[in-house]
Amino acid sequence: MRFIGNKEKLLDKIYQTVLATGIKDGIFCDFFSGTSNVGRFFKEKGFKVISSDLLYFSYVLQKAYIENNGEPKFEKLIKKIGHSANNLFPSGFESIRTHLNNLEGINGFIYKNYTEQGTANEKYKRKYFTPENGKKIDAIRTKIEDWRNQKLINKNEYFVLLAALIESVPFYANISGVYAAFLKQYDPRALKELEIKPISFYSGNKKHAVYNQDSMELINDLDVDILYIDPPYNSRQYAPNYHLLETIAQYDNPEIKGVTGMRKYDNQKSDFCNKIKAITALNKIAKNAKYKYLILSYNSEGIMPEKDITKTLNKYGELNLENIDYLRFKSNNNGDSKHKKMIQEQLYVLRKV
């Protein structure tokens, strides 16, 4: 999934850093989980994973990929709706995917508030999805909830289906990357008919634990081998940038406002988006959590200066800093031309003593 700060490209580097500590398995904590990529990777490497994020849609992904071990069978639901005729070797998930993809659209919350047709008589006209895709999202989301209410799917199966929807929606959203604005004209991507795409399943036999909580509330009860933290780097909060994925995941008919139809996010604000609060929060984590190694992913352009981070972490053990250069294409202030800029991803590695 496209997500600001997604660490997909850094996974091997993070792994090498972890291996260099001498720890090959044990408990890995990913407390700013986002796409859940990092947790998934370490789950596959044999770690027991604990993860959390303020965003509910991130929790949905964590439930499906981290806590859930393998592909659920959907036995009860398949008994009711049958396997899809198109699939030669049908799995429960594939048959249900076909079933969801063939649903008739309905005029639900997404259609009414985030499509051109649905908002035609409203003060703010929004164009996040085509009317057809908006209706389809509503139909799929409603069906998943109905199945859960009728106890035709268990909790694991519910989160797997929700995760498949959350992973699929960005392929059809009429945006340039985040949901804080929509495009005036339809991007060709948005015009394609929405379908739920297959997702990966991560098997295993460990009991993992995932949370939809502020990490700052969880750190006191933590005792782990690797505490990996990947907080936001700048003052842009995540919740408003991904508000539509959050609303599709929660599907709670929220009060929304303004040009973009933003939901409230007062309880999803991160201290790491505030220059002053960020260092205090980092200090709290480094001081109060129990861990053998704390690994902080950060960025040379982040709002916490390197010298403040170093000073804070140095108090609790031996600190090592690894810089990883990469080229970023950056728009100028008018956003109309691009230039290359070398910046550094950073891994601060603290061995607690």
Ligand X SMILES: C[S@@+](CC[C@H](N)C(=O)[O-])C[C@H]1O[C@@H](n2cnc3c(N)ncnc32)[C@H](O)[C@@H]1O
Binding site for ligand X (CB under 6 A): 3, 5-7, 32, 34-35, 37-38, 52-55, 58, 214-216, 230-232, 238, 270, 272
Closest CB to ligand X among residues 125, 328: 328
CB distance 194 to 162 below 8 Å = no
Query: What is the spatial distance between Cα 17 and Cα 350, in angstroms, rounded to a whole number?
Result: 11
CB of 268 to ligand X, least distance (A): 7
Q: Cβ of residue 111: shortest distance to ligand X, in angstroms? A: 27
Q: Which residues pair with 326 in a beta bridge?
A: 343
CB of 167 to ligand X, least distance (A): 13
Minimum CB distance to ligand X, residue 321 (Å): 18
For residue 212, the minimal CB distance to ligand X (Å) is: 9
Least separation, in Å, of the C-beta of 34 and ligand X?
A: 3
Between 111 and 179, whose beta carbon lies closer to ligand X? 179
Question: Amino acid identity of 44?
Answer: E
Residue with tokens 């080229």: 327
Confirm if 332 and 339 have CB atoms less than 8 A apart: yes
Q: Which is nearer to ligand X, 3 or 182 (by Cβ)?
A: 3
Length of the chain: 353
Smallest distance from ligand X to CB 148, Å: 25
* CB of residue 53 to ligand X, shortest distance in Å: 4
User: Residue 34 gets which letter from DSSP?
Assistant: T
70 three-class SS:
coil
Q: Which is nearer to ligand X, 94 or 214 (CB)?
A: 214
What number of other Cβ atoms are within 10 A of residue 327's Cβ? 9
Relative orientation angle of helices 92-101 and 131-149, to the nearest 10 degrees: 130
Q: In this structure, are strands 256-257 and 262-263 parallel, antiparallel, or unpaired?
A: antiparallel
Nearest approach, Cβ of 231 to ligand X (angstroms)? 6
Return the number of the residue (74 or 265) whose C-beta is nearest ligand X.
Answer: 265
User: What's at 209, amino acid-wise?
Assistant: A
Nearest residue (CB) to ligand X, 183 versus 222: 222
Q: How far is the CB of 234 from ligand X (least distance, A)?
A: 10
Q: How far apart are CA 200 and CA 207, in angstroms?
A: 19
225, 27 contact by CB (below 8 A): yes
What's the sign of the alpha-carbon dihedral 189, 193, 195, 197?
A: negative
Q: What is the DSSP string of 171-201?
A: GT--SSSSTT---SS--HHHHSPP-PPP---
60/152 with CB nearer ligand X: 60
| Nearest alpha-carbon partner for 166 in 59, 44, 54 | 59
User: In terms of CB distance, is 100 or 164 closer to ligand X?
Assistant: 164
Residue 109: closest CA among 245, 253, 257, 258: 253
Residue placing its CB nearer to ligand X in the complex, 1 or 27: 1
182/265 with CB nearer ligand X = 265
| φ/ψ bin of 82: left (φ > 0), alpha (ψ from -120 to 50), beta (otherwise) | left
Distance CA 344, CA 331 (A): 18
